[in-house]
Amino acid sequence: MSNNTAHILDHKHISPTPMRQLVLDTLLNKKSALSINDIEKMLYPADRITIYRTLKTFEQKGLIHQVEDGSGSLKYALCQDSCDDNAHHDVHVHFSCKACKETFCLPKNQIPKISLPQGYQPEEISLTVKGVCKDCQITMQ
C-alpha cells in the first residue's frame, strides 16, 4: 500500500484491508469513473461481493460518489476532500464520452443552484453532459 493510499484511508477513518487498498489504488490510477464490472475485471479473480461491500464502505465514508451517466451501469469516482460520512458535498458536472464510453468528473464545473417550487425537497442532483472527450476527438481527426 502506498503512503498516499494509507493516508487517504486513515483520513476517512477506513481500516486498510487488502481489498480496500486494491480498490482504492484502482480508483486512484484511473482518470474516469468505474463500474463494479470494470473494477471486477481489473482485479480478477477478486470476489464481486467483497468489491461491492468495499465500494459501499467508501461511499458511506465520503471517499467515493456514485455517477449515473445514463449507460445503465452505476459508476463510482473519488470524492473531493470536503465529503465525509455525514454528507457528500461533491455536486459537480460529469462528462460521458459517446466514443470511449468513459465518464469523467468535472469538479471545477459546479451544478448551478436550482430553485424548486415550495414543498419540493431535493435529495440528489446530477448533471451529465454527453459528447466526445478530448482524447477521442484527437484520435478521430
* Residues 112-130 pLDDT 10s: 888 999 999 988 788 999 9
Find the domain containing 44 and state its range. 3-140
Q: pLDDT tens across 15-31, in order?
A: 999 999 999 999 999 99
- More reliable by pLDDT, 54 or 72: 54
Annotated binding-site residues for Fe cation read 88
Q: What is the CATH number of the domain that holds 97?
A: 1.10.10.10
Number of domains in the chain: 1
Annotated binding-site residues read 88, 97, 100, 133, 136
Annotated binding-site residues for Zn(2+) read 97, 100, 133, 136
pLDDT band of residue 2 (cuts 50, 70, 90) is low
CB-CB contact of 66 with 41 (8 Å): no
Q: Lowest-confidence range among 25-34, 55-64, 78-87?
A: 78-87
**22-47: string of b/e by CB count within 10 Å (b at 16+)?**
bbbbbbeeeebbbbbebbbebbeebe
